[in-house]
Structure 1
Amino acid sequence: MQVRFVKMIQFSRQFKAGDRQREFNFRKLSSPETGAFSVNVSDERGNRILFTMEKIEGEWKITSAQLPQWILSSEKNLHGVIEDELAKNDEYQSRL
Structure 2
Amino acid sequence: MHTSFIKIIHFSRLVKINERLREFNYKKNNTAGDYVFDVDTADDRGNRIFFRLSKNDNEWTLNSTHAIPDWIGQHLQQLVTELEEGILSN
**Once structures 1 and 2 are overlaid, which stretch shifts more, 45-54 or 80-89?**
80-89
Indicate the residue corresponding to 1:94 in structure 2: none
Q: Greater helix share, 1 or 2?
A: 1
Query: Given residue 49 of structure 2, which amino acid in structure 1 is its aligned partner?
Result: I
Identity in percent: 37
1:88 aligns with 2:76: no
Q: For residues 25 and 32 of structure 1, what CA distance do their matches in structure 2 show? A: 17
User: TM-score by structure 2 length?
Assistant: 0.85
Query: Given residue 27 of structure 2, which amino acid in structure 1 is its aligned partner?
Result: R
1:17 aligns with 2:17: yes
Query: Given residue 86 of structure 2, which amino acid in structure 1 is its aligned partner?
Result: E
Q: Which runs of 5+ in 2 are unaligned?
A: none
Query: Given residue 87 of structure 1, which amino acid in structure 2 is its aligned partner?
Result: L
* Distance apart, 1:32 and its partner CA: 6.7
Indicate the residue corresponding to 2:63 in structure 1: 63
1:75 aligns with 2:48: no
* Distance apart, 1:10 and its partner CA: 0.6
User: TM-score by structure 1 length?
Assistant: 0.80
Query: How much is the aligned-residue C-alpha RMSD, in angstroms?
Result: 1.7
**Once structures 1 and 2 are overlaid, which stretch shifts more, 39-48 or 50-59?**
50-59
**Once structures 1 and 2 are overlaid, which stretch shifts more, 2-11 or 56-65?**
56-65
Q: Cα gap change, 1:32/1:46 in structure 2, threshold over 3 Å: closer, same or farther?
A: closer
* Distance apart, 1:67 and its partner CA: 0.5
Aligned length in residues: 89
Q: Which runs of 5+ in 1 are unaligned?
A: 90-96
